[in-house]
Amino acid sequence: MVTSSAGSQHGAPLVTRPVPADWLDERRRADHRAREKAAPLIDALTETLRGLTAVDDAASVRVIDVGAGTGSNQAWLAPRLHLSQRWTLLDHDADLLDVASQTPADSEVRETVRVLGTVDDLPGLTSGEEVQLVTCSALLDLLSLAEAEVLADAIAGPRAGRDVAALLSLSVTGAVEIHPAHESDAVISQAFDAHQRRGDLLGPDAAGIVAELLRERGAQVSVGETDWLLDTSDAALITRYLSDRADVAVENDPSLASTAAAWLQVRQQQLATGDLQVRVGHVDLLALPARSQEP
């Protein structure tokens, strides 16, 4: 069953950092492929959730997907949990929620609710006695420190629910390797990363900061690498990624316009001849409630 609901913002416009739906669709295949590397984290998560729900055979895990976008996270994760689930898709962009994927047919999802809201709405969703899983995909680098603290408190703070676990997926690390190397790689990367840290955003520092915030609150945190590994079979995604990377670098430092244009032209030629490979560093964070680790 799929239903919709407004969050605490009562229908007020929430989109302050819109993410294009076509970009989410473009990256979905690479995201899902990268996340297969997180299988040990999924196994540990499922074992923990089964243990927490074992006292009630009819219990469902309530899964709250923060920054749910077009539903890619649910499409990948729900079939792999192998237990009864009720999903809340939380996003600040009503347009993305409107095109969110249908509930995966090969999963044990009993209900999907779409809620318009932000990270600030999360604490109101994670209280209570039921077993809960907070999850997100490619979100942490878009958060401020204050938002990251709200997220950590909702998962493991003193007012969090009794049994809350978290799987925070595909956070960029800033590690990007492009083969063959180019003399402008470093300056483009520096400008790109500076833009990702603009204002108060955590950017590529996010995964490490959120992991530490969760540990400070007593959660048991594990980290797994989920890098994108892209080649000519991902030509459309590489084209979009490199073009956006050049544009962002120039937005951060307009003096790089000619350098970025020349760099991008070379990269496009290398891609056309099948000579380009790209690795984009990502990590997944698994946070389990401390009480689930007790003998």
> Encoding tokens for residue 189?
């990367």
Residues 220-234: pLDDT tens digits?
999 999 999 999 999
Residue 83: how many other CB atoms lie within 10 Å:
15
Span 68-73, average pLDDT: 91
**13 pLDDT tier (thresholds 50, 70, 90):** very low
Residues 106-156: pLDDT tens digits?
789 999 999 999 999 999 999 888 999 999 999 999 999 999 999 999 999
Residue 228: how many other CB atoms lie within 10 Å:
21
Element (H, E) at 133: strand 131-137
Beta-strand relationship, 2-6 and 61-66? unpaired
CB–CB of 69/91 below 8 Å?
Answer: yes
Q: DSSP for 251-279? A: HH-GGGHHHHHHHHHHHHHHHHTT--EEE
> Encoding tokens for residue 103?
């509930």
Q: Give which of 99, 112, 120, 88 is closest to 14, Cα–Cα.
A: 120
| Res. 105: pLDDT tops 80 | no
* Angstrom distance (rounded) from CA 193 to CA 198: 9
Q: What is the pLDDT of residue 36?
A: 95
Question: pTM for this structure?
Answer: 0.90
| Res. 255: pLDDT tops 90 | yes
Element (H, E) at 151: helix 145-156
The CATH classification number of 2-170+203-227+282-293 equals 3.40.50.150
| Res. 241: pLDDT tops 70 | yes
